[in-house]
Structure 1
Amino acid sequence: MSTLIDFILHIDDHLINIVNTFGSSTYLILFAVIFIETGAVIFPFLPGDSLLFAAAALSANVNYGLNIGLFVIIFLVASIGGDSLNFFFGNKFGEIIPRNRILGKFIKEKDLAKAREFFDKYGAMAIFFGRFIPIIRTLIPFVAATSDFPYKRFIKYNLIACVSWVAICCGAGYYFGNIPVVKENFSMVIIGIVAISLIPAVIGYVKTKFVSSK
């Protein structure tokens, strides 16, 4: 866990090491991370927002030779494709994965319950808003499928959500990631991004506790 936290907080340094080591293969590595985060239901803890922000920030620096346009394309394909795979898993193995002795360890029942509650409350809009909330974004496609939500309708909202998510995260990283004050306090910026992403979940949790206490 400490290694994952270190990776997230110092993701800019780790990305620089990846670029220096693997060169153009960096695109494939980052594609795999986002695809796995969204597609493999059992890995909701992988970084998403911070990775897009950091990658876009590096692409704005000519010294690294990275292309922001290519990043946008691979992140779009990875997130849309990953969500569709996630939906497929929910449709085919919705009842099996959470109860599996091994796979079930990666999916917390409380997180799955929150995702179901979120989806039941907001319906189709949960597909859009869920994309911006860590953990929830990985579970929403799965929950939508187990709720017999039509895939054709799911993919429409998912396309809008993924385009918005990639545009906002990459746009922010590209235009603001290399501002001196941001570069000098990159870890704090990443913490801020994670904190902002968690605000909707925190509000939902507080509301639930408030209602249950009445």
Structure 2
Amino acid sequence: MNNFDWTQLINPEFYITFTIGGFQVGLFIVLFIVFAETGLFAGFFLPGDSLLFLAGIYNRDLIENVLFIESDFLNLLILSSLVALSGVLGNMVGYWFGAKSGYYLYNREDTFLFKKKYLLQSKEFFEKHGGKAIIYARFLPIVRTFAPIVAGIGSMDKKKFMFYNILSSILWSFILIFSGHYLYGMFLGFGIDLKHYIEHIIIIIILISTVPVLIKLIKKKPEEKI
């Protein structure tokens, strides 16, 4: 930790390979980050998509000190299931928080960790797509943090919310983790180690996940001028 750099906090690899006393605690950090990003409005700045993709690449490192089985598929299944569970619990907390604190959030002043514009953008996104917004939101930075809160504020039916909550969490975790693992293996077969291109991977994933949001904002500006 002597060479700690604050910029590491936005680098998913830092969390995955983090050790305490020689014991790798990356798995627990990953699970907490997923929970925080989907359940606590202060978690919107945390690396979500890129973290899960890299978790697939570093699957063995994350699992072997906790619960390792001699099967890549079973290890991926365990890791993805744990992440999905964290995502479900996170969204449940976000929904509860929104249901209990909706009025307070809409009237709260902006702070470093809270921007009301993110809440309003998520509300608009949610109103446009309905229940499916919970699924779409999983793959969109910032929106995935505020979507369950908005669902709670809007008193979305709990059973409907839980259905989309569970489905979206499973899709998000399994798609990204399995993609990271098997793409890593595929490229390794061509002599390319994706672990040497982590920075590029993070940039690509950020671009892929934010482009839809940017396009939406660009299209919206001309409409606002009319």
TM over 0.5: yes
* Worse-superposed segment, 171-180 or 73-82: 171-180
Is residue 195 from structure 1 mapped to residue 198 from structure 2 by the alignment? no
Structure with max Cα Rg: 2
Over aligned residue pairs, what C-alpha RMSD do you find? 2.5
Q: Deviations over 1:36-72 (max 9, x none)?
A: 1111122211111111111110115799666433321
Alpha-carbon distance in structure 2 between the residues aligned to 1:144 and 1:61: 36
Deviation of 1:21 (Å):
3.6
Deviation of 1:198 (Å):
0.7
The answer to whether the 8 Å contact 2:35/2:90 transfers is yes
**Which position in structure 1 is the counterpart of 2:46?**
46
| Higher RCO structure, 1 or 2 (CA under 8 Å, sep 6+) | 1
CA shift in 2, pair 1:22/1:30, >3 Å = farther
- How many aligned residue pairs are there? 209
**Which position in structure 2 is the counterpart of 1:132?**
139
- SS of the residue corresponding to residue 177 of structure 1 reads helix
* Aligned pairs for 1:155-194 within 5 A: 155-177=162-184, 179=187, 180-194=192-206
Q: What letter corresponds to residue 23 of structure 2 in structure 1?
A: F
Deviation of 1:90 (Å):
0.2
- SS of the residue corresponding to residue 205 of structure 1 reads helix
Deviation of 1:13 (Å):
5.1
Is residue 149 from structure 1 mapped to residue 151 from structure 2 by the alignment? no
- SS of the residue corresponding to residue 47 of structure 1 reads coil
* Worse-superposed segment, 67-76 or 191-200: 67-76
Q: What letter corresponds to residue 3 of structure 1 in structure 2?
A: W
CA shift in 2, pair 1:62/1:90, >3 Å = closer
The answer to whether the 8 Å contact 1:87/1:144 transfers is yes
Q: What letter corresponds to residue 207 of structure 1 in structure 2?
A: K
- SS of the residue corresponding to residue 134 of structure 1 reads coil
Q: Taking every aligned residue pair, what percent have the same amino acid on both sides?
A: 29
**Which position in structure 1 is the counterpart of 2:27?**
27
CA shift in 2, pair 1:60/1:112, >3 Å = same
**Which position in structure 1 is the counterpart of 2:115?**
108
The answer to whether the 8 Å contact 2:38/2:145 transfers is yes
- SS of the residue corresponding to residue 44 of structure 2 reads coil
**Which position in structure 2 is the counterpart of 1:77?**
85
The answer to whether the 8 Å contact 2:55/2:177 transfers is yes
What are structure 1's unaligned runs of at least 5 residues? none
Deviation of 1:181 (Å):
4.8
- SS of the residue corresponding to residue 17 of structure 2 reads helix
Alpha-carbon distance in structure 1 between the residues aligned to 2:30 and 2:62: 19
Alpha-carbon distance in structure 2 between the residues aligned to 1:85 and 1:63: 26
Deviation of 1:171 (Å):
1.0
**Which position in structure 1 is the counterpart of 2:6?**
3
What are structure 2's unaligned runs of at least 5 residues? 69-74
